[in-house]
Amino acid sequence: MTAAAPGAAKKTSWRRRSVLPGFNLTLGYTLAYLSLIVLIPLAGLAIRTASLGWNEFWALALDPRVVASLQLSFGAAILAAVVNTVFGVLVAWVLVRYRFPGRRWLDAAVDLPFALPTAVAGIALATLYAPNGPFGIVLEDLFGVKVGFTSAGVVMALIFVGLPFVVRTVQPVLEEIDRETEEVSATLGAGRWRTVTRVMLPGLLPAILTGFALSFARGVGEYGSVIFIANNLPFESEIAPLLIVIKLEEHNYAAATAIATIMLVISFAMLFVINLLQAWSRRWFGHE
């Protein structure tokens, strides 16, 4: 660095010098493509929202039907994320700690919701949970619960799409966790439950919270798998993304834009929280 000419030093002050070529080309291409595909279109949405004006925006956002759909989307996403956190941690634990026949198959199956198109998952879930479907009959007979074509169906679909996020964020951390701490805890006389909840859980917490946040964020925006299993009645089982589609079909672009902006602001806040969580876990636990 010290040998560099003043001009070069100034030019490279925002990056460390490297002998490798291609920085300007690849970063330039990255920024141009990013702007063209992601940033400019998103800015278009922001501009359209700004052009609505404060009063019109809130009038659209506080429309009872809009509020109901947002409540359902966020409420169902939180419920599904809670279920996924409990079972996701359990599945990750079983996959990492135990050896049993078929473990590899099970491990591969966890990624199924990532790979299976949402429309396919949607019609499959709708068939399973419909009042005359195999799961629908059992749930109604045993528990008197209607899942298909209700808001409970929305939660079921969101559990399906969100499960891998928790498993795949907790699993690698659980694999790397130091077994010696557990042994120390056990030899000091702590019972197994105490060791797991007091010694291991704090180390896993950032990963668990990240998984929860990712599962929640995915659930809020989910559309394809939900619309088949819910009967999409306003105020009952109409999710916010569906209401955007309906407003678009009515050519009510202002309302669609307002709902989309609320969803985006909350999603970006979630993304920010996820990044904070990961920075926090890096600092305190030395892993992501």
Partner 1 sequence: MSEAATAARRKTPRQVIGEGPRTRFVLIAVALAFLGLMLIAPLLVVFIEAFSRGLGVYLEALAMPDTMSALQLTLLVAAIAVPANLVFGVAASWAIAKFDFKGKSFLLTLIDLPFAVSPVVSGLIFVLLFGANSVLGPWLQDMGIQVLFAVPGIVIATIFITFPFVARELIPLMQQQGSSEEEAAVSLGAGGWRTFFLVTLPNVKWGLLYGVLLCNARAMGEFGAVSVVSGHIRGQTNTLPLHIEILYNDNKAAAAFAVASLLAMLALVTLAVKTMLEARFAGSLAAQRRH
- Among positions 197-236, residues that touch partner 1 (CB under 8 A) are 214, 217, 220-224, 228
Residue 137 in contact with partner 1, rule: CB under 8 A: no
Instruction: Tell which one of 192, 194, 198, 282 touches partner 1 (CB under 8 A).
Output: 192
Interaction residues for partner 1, span 158-187 (CB under 8 A)? 159-160, 163-165, 168-169, 172, 175, 179, 182-183, 186-187
Instruction: Tell which one of 6, 7, 21, 144 touches partner 1 (CB under 8 A).
Output: 21
Residues 6+ apart with CB under 8 A from 96: 171, 174, 175
CA distance 276 to 271: 9
Instruction: Tell which one of 63, 65, 68, 127 touches partner 1 (CB under 8 A).
Output: 127
Residue 265 in contact with partner 1, rule: CB under 8 A: no
Q: What is the largest CA-CA distance in the chain?
A: 81
Q: Measured from the CB atom, is 38 or 137 closer to partner 1?
A: 38
Residue 16 in contact with partner 1, rule: CB under 8 A: yes
Residue 61 in contact with partner 1, rule: CB under 8 A: no
Q: Please give the full DSSP string across 142-169, using - where no structure is assigned.
A: HH----TTSHHHHHHHHHHHHHHHHHHH
Residue 271 in contact with partner 1, rule: CB under 8 A: yes
Residue 284 in contact with partner 1, rule: CB under 8 A: no
**CB of 139 vs partner 1, minimal distance in Å:** 11
CA distance 241 to 69: 8
Instruction: Find, among 86, 64, 66, the residue nearest to 74 by Cα.
Output: 66
Q: Measured from the CB atom, is 45 or 201 closer to partner 1?
A: 45
Instruction: Find, among 78, 85, 81, 156, the residue nearest to 124 by Cα.
Output: 156
Instruction: Find, among 58, 71, 107, 97, the residue nearest to 254 by Cα.
Output: 58
Tokens of 127: 């068939």
Q: Which stretch binds partner 1 (CB under 8 A): 2-10, 53-61, 63-71, 98-106?
A: 98-106
Residue 15 in contact with partner 1, rule: CB under 8 A: yes
Q: Which stretch binds partner 1 (CB under 8 A): 1-9, 56-64, 105-113, 141-149?
A: 105-113
Q: Is-contact 102 271, C-beta < 8 A? A: no
Q: Measured from the CB atom, is 134 or 235 closer to partner 1?
A: 134
CA distances from 229 to 29, 152, 217, 288 (A): 42, 9, 20, 35
Instruction: Tell which one of 67, 205, 248, 273 touches partner 1 (CB under 8 A).
Output: 248
Residue 26 in contact with partner 1, rule: CB under 8 A: yes
